[in-house]
Amino acid sequence: MHVTVCAVFQPTRLRVIVATYLFLCATVAQGQQGGAPLSPSAVKIRNAIRSLPPGQKLTVLMKGRPSYHGDLREPRDDSFSLFEVDERQTLTIAYEDVKKIRRGYGGYNSVSGRHVDPLHSRIAVIAMLGGLVTILVATAVALGKS
């Protein structure tokens, strides 16, 4: 009985096909692991995030998008995860998309149902104190004239 082996399954050709397949798989896997290098500002954000403990309360100011307020979950090479307290879900945020980070949530705006930037909260408190001092001084001056 004479058996013919299909040309594809000949040992030499099969080795070439397997070697080509493995080379292509390795190339694709390597391309997926090594992303584009981070910009200097993204590296600065990544280093700041990595220096914080998990669970740290943060305000993340995004480039051209609303800010996020939440607890730091896990820093990675090109992104980090954050449990967003207003949306009550975990978000993955790329370092390249972040403009600035601040510690803390800031105040809570009951009208919008969202937290506000801690810096804006401080500015509002200072403005209110300044207005109160102005009213007190104006009242003292008015009482002193009468």
- Looking at the 3D structure of the chain, how many domains does it have? 2
Statement to judge: residues 54 and 2 lie in one domain: no
Percentage above 70 pLDDT, the chain: 64
Instruction: Inform me whether the pLDDT recorded for 31 exceeds 50.
Output: no
How many C-beta neighbours within 10 Å does residue 32 have? 8
Statement to judge: residues 21 and 80 lie in one domain: no
* Averaged pLDDT score across all residues of the chain: 78
Range of the domain at 132: 40-145
Statement to judge: residues 101 and 130 lie in one domain: yes
* pTM for this model (two decimals): 0.55
Structure tokens at 12: 């030499």
For 68-124, write each residue's pLDDT tens digit. 989 999 999 999 999 998 889 999 999 999 999 988 876 666 566 566 665 666 677
The amino acid at 38: L
pLDDT at 30: 47
Identify which has the larger pLDDT, 138 or 49. Answer: 49
Statement to judge: residues 66 and 20 lie in one domain: no
What is the dihedral sign for C-alpha 46, 48, 53, 55? negative
Query: What is the average per-residue pLDDT within 115-139?
Result: 77
Statement to judge: residues 63 and 135 lie in one domain: yes
Structure tokens at 20: 């080509």
Query: What is the average per-residue pLDDT within 49-59?
Result: 92
E-assigned strand segments in the chain: 57-62, 68-75, 79-84, 89-94, 98-103, 108-109, 114-115
Q: What's the CATH code of the domain at 139?
A: 2.30.30.520
- Using CA atoms, how far apart are residues 68 and 101, in angstroms rounded to an integer? 10
